[in-house]
Structure 1
């Protein structure tokens, strides 16, 4: 959520703000931010529960509807539990001034009554797994 989103939420919750630097405005924005954080935490807990996880806390960098995984094996375990649509794409990433070319695997899952969620990982060849159901789904999609 960016500053403009917070301002819109604050406007809806507290009405128009006459003085953007006043303490009343800051209190409204703080209240709106707290509401958004609570709603995000609730959504994240529902998503994680629906995906079969015990924890209801998001990892750093994740959002309630976009989660990242360490390996294709972890992502495959979720795919086998809940299904979904698997895609892959080539991505260019920069780390410490060096650019790498990676294959990103994305699993899109519709959780009825909750949200549509994207789960991602990068293919890591040393971990293997070409025979995983997740990888067979990508191959079938390409054919």
Structure 2
């Protein structure tokens, strides 16, 4: 069965700038390997290669994408988080649509000699964010993307 949701994804993606606008300093690559826990249980965010300004909840979306892939209810966790209090469904979905497109397009680029596994990682991130978006929207993905 082909995936017939490209137009709705493109429509969501067209709103990403306003959806994720803000003045919070973002890590913009927050994932579990960029978080260190010290002996006292404090979390330290490291590897700040892509800092930028945006909505305070955007880094949470990046972090929860992999949690969703591990079977956690990322939407429920997101909605319960203080930074997501006033975020509507379309804002979150615009962020997911944009992230999935960015990661899938990046993953399709030629291999990078500076990081031999980056394209595989980017493709995985694109699939994970697209899967989360599809779950939220009730869409069925094509075979190979579960």
Compare the two structures and name the one with the higher helix fraction: 2
Compare the two structures and name the one with the higher strand fraction: 1
The structure whose Rg is larger is: 1
Q: Which has the higher contact order (CA 8 A, sep 6+)?
A: 2
Report TM bin, short chain: under 0.3
